[in-house]
Amino acid sequence: MESKIFNLSLPLKITVALVTSFWCLIAVFPLLWVLVMSIKLPVDSFASNPLEVIFGPATKLQVGGLSIINLLVIGVMVYVLYKIYQLRFRFLSIVTHAIKFPVISFFINLLAFILIVYVGLIIIQPLLSESLNAFFSTNPVLHLIAKPVIGFTSQHYEAVWVENEFYKQFFNTIIVTSGVLTISLTVGTLAGYGLARTNSMMAFWLLIAALVFRALPHTVLVTGYLEPFINYGLYGKRTAVIIILVAINQPFTIWMMRSFFMNIPQDLDEAAQIDGCNPFQAFWKVIMPLMWPGVITTGLFSFLLAYNDYLVASLLLDGQSQTMVPAIIQYFNMETKMTDLVEAIAAAASITAPLFLLVMFFQKQIISGLTTGAVKG
């Protein structure tokens, strides 16, 4: 591709730069705007002047805000955290080779990183900013940079998580998601392995069937399951949602796992068997260690499906056992006060945060997953 890059003429270069930056703006802007709105009082969030939304004069007056120092400290913090993250990633790749179960160590790492972010941004950052603010505000020349510039309030987040007990929905989401992940990954791995190692016509038809099932609208499945669920008292239980989501997810998981297994040469199985493994050992000790990237990628997409689901959960669950996404929609249906709206926005932002982390950590896996599916599909 090198030759192509150097051959680009100036107008074309400008077009490329423009298109890319314009796209980035479109891609990020709505999300960024939601974030900005969520930290302002309703008066500012829904002000008609965009500058007022960004700087939030009312919020600044009533609650307080961030000074230039705060912003600087936050910026430095984010940079340091990003560096830690990079180091950790390299450290992680060492660990994955050292330990046989990289998934577990990976999640330990993930948790550790989240903890570091939390300590860094929630505990150290305010302390540091406050002391710096106090220091500079006494200085006659520099006190300007210690003055609040941008209105900021975290009260909506507090309202959502503490008063409205959003953490309950959070736990529900975790339960549903992890249930779906475990079941569909186990079945998907086994079935994918089986399908990748046969050439029979039957396997082919199963794959085609899986493709068709992937195309099924999700409501079709819900319709089928609803009657038995109501009859057997599963309605309103999280298990019901897990069952349906697994059923929806399974064709996709099997396809993806199969393409990953296809990349592992069959000779490896045979070599292991010659060395005296029984087929199960061959599968577990030789093939599986090579499969972890595939498992992680497939798991990611299963996670997304379960986490993002609105349809199934809203049909089958209610009240206390509801997951996060339908709960937000219920916010809108409940009341129409401005404060409620901003709280819903804050809730939406909190739902997005884990996904944001996910992209950050797993960007490579997501891309490899998308392309593996594509090449074989």
Give the span between the Cα atoms of 148 and 300, in whole angstroms: 41
Within positions 24 to 83, which residues make up the interface with another protein, using CB under 8 A? Answer: 24, 26-28, 30-31, 33-34, 37, 46-50, 53
Q: Is 336 in the site for another protein (CB under 8 A)?
A: no
Give the nearest distance from C-beta 134 to another protein in angstroms: 35
φ and ψ at 39, to 5 degrees? -105, 20
Question: CB-wise, 49 or 320, nearer to another protein?
Answer: 49
Within positions 239 to 258, which residues make up the interface with another protein, using CB under 8 A? Answer: 247, 250, 254
Question: CB-wise, 140 or 377, nearer to another protein?
Answer: 377
Q: Is 287 in the site for another protein (CB under 8 A)?
A: no
Best CA proximity match to 152, nearest among 73, 38, 34, 47: 38
List CB contacts of 178: < 8 A, sequence separation 6 or more: none
Select from 55, 113, 166, 283 the one that contacts another protein (CB under 8 A).
Answer: 283
Select from 121, 304, 330, 340 the one that contacts another protein (CB under 8 A).
Answer: 304
Give the span between the Cα atoms of 71 and 129, in whole angstroms: 9
* Integer angstrom CA distances of residue 13 from 10, 27, 289, 324: 5, 21, 44, 44
- Residues that bind another protein (rule: CB under 8 A) add up to a total of 95
Select from 108, 122, 144, 211 the one that contacts another protein (CB under 8 A).
Answer: 211
Within positions 86 to 105, which residues make up the interface with another protein, using CB under 8 A? Answer: none
Give the nearest distance from C-beta 120 to another protein in angstroms: 20
Instruction: Single out the segment in contact with another protein by CB under 8 A; choices: 84-92, 122-130, 158-166, 200-208.
Output: 200-208
What is the C-alpha R_g of the chain? 25
Give the nearest distance from C-beta 20 to another protein in angstroms: 5
